[in-house]
Amino acid sequence: MSSDIFCVGGHDWEIRFYPDGWKLVDGSSKSGFFSVGIRLVSDAGDSGIRASYEFTFLDKRGKELPVGLSGRPSSMKKGYEWVQDIKEANQGSKYVQNDCIIIRGTVRVLVLANRLEGAKQGSITVPDSNFGHGFKELLESEVGWDVVFHVGDEAFRAHKSILAARSPVFRAQFFGPAGNPNLNEVTVDDILPSIFKVILRFIYTDQLPDVHDIVGFSASMSGAANVTQHLLVAADLYNLDRLKVFCESKLCKELTAVSVATTLALAEQHQCAHLKAVCLKFAAHPINLAGTSAVHVS
């Protein structure tokens, strides 16, 4: 007896029931057994498929009985069948209800890695994010700007919503309880135009700058340290923590006998504990001591 054909994993299957047991090669069957099986009906190709099965017996209310049969994953081709033999002595009221037996067959088809190779070859590559590039273009084109910053002799146009999203200071200035959302002109003191330009670029793109490319400073090591110090002050002013940590890291790597005193003072002023510790360790080293200015540490 066979069930209706059902589909699992893109293949057709049927449950088969043998009241007198599964027939052996010589045509005989095991005495005192009945058998259940799951058979692959559809074509699975030359390589076949791998699948596992499980039989569950149900009572007349559809409740599972505490007896089940299962098999480990194995290869299957068209016409292959899993069969399980069950002693009739175990039937009784467990399995048979009103001369009927209810069997639930579960098939799990395994997808092998090599079956995905074709799909991988035809897959579509997702392009890298150009999120930062788009915002950089928005900053440079000045499209839709709603605030202008006057920094020294230069003017920088920007977008208040983007600034507020990235900096708590700008958020408070424009949209906080004491802020002014209609403010469209801001004068910035004590920050060089080249530094403020880097601040805006970081806010829009989240890209860390190359301090050697910032105009207005010497290309020497001391000049690089000087621009990084200015950038750290601005990053701290606008609560740009990632940029501040970047500046701390760069100052640690480029620390010299010439810059250690000013860098230490900067670290104390802007609560850069790790940078301060590095400066003190550098100044205390015998090889650097001769070239280090006297520093007062409170």
Tell me: the pLDDT tens digits for 134-182? 999 999 999 999 999 999 999 999 999 999 999 999 999 999 999 999 9
Give the domain range for residue 185: 130-207
Beta-bridged to residue 97, according to DSSP, are: 100
Does 155 reside within a domain?
yes
CA torsion angle 219 225 231 236 (round to 10): 180
Does 122 reside within a domain?
no
Whether residue 198 sits in one domain with residue 229: no
User: Any long-range contacts for 273-278 (C-beta under 8 Å, 24+ apart)?
Assistant: 274/248, 275/248, 275/251, 278/252
pLDDT, position 130: 83
Whether residue 106 sits in one domain with residue 65: yes
Whether residue 191 sits in one domain with residue 226: no
Does 118 reside within a domain?
no
Whether residue 101 sits in one domain with residue 22: yes
Does 124 reside within a domain?
no
Q: Give the residue from 112, 143, 178 where a domain finishes.
A: 112
CATH code of the domain containing 81: 2.60.210.10
pLDDT at 274 > cutoff 70: yes
Average pLDDT rounded to a whole number, residues 194-219: 82
Give me the chain's average pLDDT, please. 80
Does 23 reside within a domain?
yes
Looking at the structure of the chain, the number of domains it has is 3
Whether residue 227 sits in one domain with residue 203: no
Tell me: the pLDDT tens digits for 7-18? 887 788 788 877
pLDDT at 34 > cutoff 60: yes
Among the ranges given (68-72, 222-226, 251-255, 289-293), the one the predictor scored with the smallest mean pLDDT = 289-293
Residue 84 binned pLDDT confidence (cut-offs 50, 70, 90):
low
pLDDT at 298 > cutoff 50: no
pLDDT, position 242: 94
Does 117 reside within a domain?
no
Q: Give the residue from 62, 80, 112 where a domain finishes.
A: 112
Residue 259 binned pLDDT confidence (cut-offs 50, 70, 90):
confident
Whether residue 214 sits in one domain with residue 176: no
Secondary structure letter of residue 192 according to DSSP:
-
Q: Which has more pLDDT, 29 or 148?
A: 148
Whether residue 215 sits in one domain with residue 193: no
Does 125 reside within a domain?
no
